Amino acid sequence: MLKIGLNPYGLTYHLGLQGMGTPRANPDPKGLEGFIVLAEELGSKAIELWDGWLKELDAAGLAALKARLDGLGIVPVVSSGLQHGDVDACIGYAKALGADRMRFALTPILCGDRAAAGQRWYDLVNEVRAKLEIAAPKAAAAGVTLLIENHQDFTSRELVGFCEEFGPSVRIVYDTANSFPVAESPLDFARVIAPYVRYVHAKDYRVQFTDEGIRLCRCPTGDGAVPFRELFAILLEHTPDLIASIEIGALEARHVRLLTPGWWHGYAPKDAEALAACLLAARTNRIGDDEEWRTPWERNADSELVAYELGQVRKSAANLKALGY
């Protein structure tokens, strides 16, 4: 049975994570408390908790949070990043909250742009492998699954390779819209990784085609290019008790310049049919060439941001409920 909840990354302005420490930060951030209240409002069955919030809680605070989530029937997932996060601390948070899953982004690469990183890309891959070699046995000993995300950097087969290399304590959190930045269609990506997926970021993009590639613009889950009914059918066949959370894309659009030769540096040769499938999928509910694509953040219309973010999250919940989830 698919349990769907909420993660904080489509609500960064509302919650106070966008522009922290700058003049554009939200003067009235809602933080962890506001996030839980919204999750409860939407009837969430799962919640992804940023480790930046959890590190502010002592043992009593974590115990109180666990009791609150247990009372609401909400399954927690601890969230961090492999580059700068503390795996040992996250294991501790997971144990305190009764969570059996921890989500980790792997690198800072966005838009699939390995070429921009140059040699640093290969260094990052080696760093990921070295960190997973240390973290995987710790997660296994704690009975917690370390979930690695396709954070606009790794392909489906590369993620599966990490799982096979480091064993059953390393599995995948599938960001459903982040196949486009590595030139894979959502369904092709899902078919490859499905046996290893234990958590899903139900995210969507509307796509605008450009002279250099595709621009990925945030939208409510279910309003964009990702075919959720078909995608969840693939994943649930392998993991019937799957957990997912609604995520809206970043407040900055992602420009994937895959029509430029240099963008492909660092990738293995790609089958033309697979690339065609990606581009065809991206055309669903696409944005016209002359349509406005910028978010209020990109237009410096900060006064619109809270209503914008909350509206998109609520629309996402309605769309998923309409699909029967």
| Residues 251-258, mean pLDDT to the nearest whole number | 98
Looking at every residue in the chain, the average pLDDT score rounds to 97
Q: Return the percentage of the chain with pLDDT > 70, whole number.
A: 100
pLDDT confidence band for 267 (50 / 70 / 90): very high
Q: What share of the chain is helix, strand, coil (3-state, %, to 5)?
A: 45, 15, 40
Is residue 17 predicted with pLDDT exceeding 80?
Answer: yes
Other CB atoms within 10 Å distance of the CB of residue 58:
8
Report d(CA 154, CA 304) in Å as an integer.
Answer: 34
The dihedral of CA 167, 170, 176, 178: what is its sign? Answer: negative
* Domains identified in the chain and CATH numbers: 3-322 (3.20.20.150)
Query: Is 238 within 8 Å of 255 (Cβ atoms)?
Result: no
Q: Using H for helix, E for strand and C for coil, what is the string for 220-264?
A: CCCCCCCCHHHHHHHHHHHCCCCEEEECCCCCCCEEECCCCHHHH
Query: Is 12 within 8 Å of 25 (Cβ atoms)?
Result: no
What pLDDT, in 10s, does the model give residues 191-221? 999 999 999 999 999 999 999 999 999 999 9
The pLDDT of residue 302: 97
- Residue-wise DSSP of 262-310: GGGTTSPP--HHHHHHHHHHHTTTPBPTTS----TTTTT-GGGHHHHHH
What pLDDT, in 10s, does the model give residues 216-245? 999 999 999 999 999 999 999 999 999 999
| Residues 177-199, mean pLDDT to the nearest whole number | 98
Report d(CA 241, CA 6) in Å as an integer.
Answer: 17
pTM listed for this prediction:
0.97
